[in-house]
Amino acid sequence: MQPSPLGPSSPLFIVLNAGSGSADAAEPREIIEQGCAAAGRRLRIFLVDERATVQALAREAVERARAVDGVVVAAGGDGTINTVARATLGSGLAFGVLPQGTFNYFSRAHGIPRDTAQALQVLLAEQPRPVQVGLVNDRLFLVNASMGLYAELLEERESYKVRFGRSRWVAFFAGLLTVMRGHRHWNLRIASHGVERDIRTTTLFVGNNPLQLLQVGIEHADAPENGQLAAITLKPMGVLAMPGLLVRGALGRLGSTDEVLSFPFESMTVKAGRLHPPRRVKVATDGEIAWAEMPLLFRVSPEPLWLVRPDIAPELEAAKQ
């Protein structure tokens, strides 16, 4: 269901998760309130803290917005954006983003600036446009979903961020330490396009963000722009070979190595192992870890998310050059 066109009277219902406490949210909240006041735009802010979870506030924001044909907005990192998008998908409401995270792949791929004031101007001036959503066992992902080594890397990276702060270098060295400790190999049976294949791999990564895929150098980076998802697996390799692969990804040359297999798809079923397969596995969706029942079904959502965004995403267009 396509939302109604937005106008100067369309109120904003903003779920704000800017950091670990209310002090971290003070600056973006002030920018948002001042910008909306200057534009004469009504708003309500739902502040995430120890008493109110993102999930509960996202549901409340959707209910309030539905009553007045408003816009549901996620102000936070990829995990917050994922949670609020999950509550908004299928509601018939427009969805907005004010990025507050470290990588912000979702907003960057859709032309939404990192700067809160600039992102707010996009939200106040633009109209909702359809954006592809990925699903794994009906759990939404906007950027990527994964199992195996990559999901493990994300889980352990969070503990390093708590100790050393959030930055790209912390993320890189956390990943390096994780891959150097050794890793499990998975025997997977993957069915897609009517064909089954057996794959032995350390990880299965499914991408729904063309900017991220372009930056690591994957061959099928344009899959999300063509109504598809991109699957990436790594062939079995020794521990000493893994740091080199991590560096290749950082340099945007991951697709040039023989150890990487990638292919596009609309729907893919994944089963694990032939003997004593696990009933469930850990799956990461946009950086958030949760248990998922096997087999896994990855697919493109039949309905899009209606994101308030500009027609052109400059960083994505530059990455294609």
Q: Is residue 33's pLDDT more than 90?
A: yes
- Number of Cβ within 10 Å of residue 68's Cβ equals 11
Is the separation of the CB atoms in 211 and 108 below 8 Å? Answer: yes
Q: Give residue 160's pLDDT.
A: 42
Mean pLDDT, the chain, rounded, equals 86
Closest of 283, 11, 236, 272 to residue 141, by C-alpha: 283
Q: What is the pLDDT of residue 245?
A: 55
Residue 23's pLDDT is what? Answer: 54
Is 80 exceeded by the pLDDT of residue 83? yes
Span between the terminal Cα atoms of the chain, in Å? 34
Q: Residue type at 45?
A: I
CB-CB contact of 54 with 25 (8 Å): no
Q: Residue 117's pLDDT is what?
A: 97
Which 8-state DSSP code applies to residue 8? T
Residue 176, pLDDT score: 43
Q: How many secondary structure helices (H) and strands (E) does the chain include? A: 10, 18
pLDDT, average across residues 306-317: 97
Residues 6+ apart with CB under 8 A from 68: 11
Question: 6-34 b/e with 16+ CB inside 10 Å = b?
Answer: beeebbbbbbbbbbeeeeebeebbebbee
Q: Hey, which residues does 192 pair with through a beta bridge? A: 195, 268
pLDDT tens digits, 130-165:
999 999 999 999 999 999 876 777 665 555 454 445
pLDDT at res. 217 = 87
CB 133 within 8 A of CB 301: yes
CA distances from 79 to 105, 138, 140, 222, 289 (A): 11, 17, 11, 23, 10
Domains in the chain, ordered, with CATH?
Answer: 12-132+303-320 (3.40.50.10330), 139-300 (2.60.200.40)
Residue 139's beta-bridge partner residues? 136
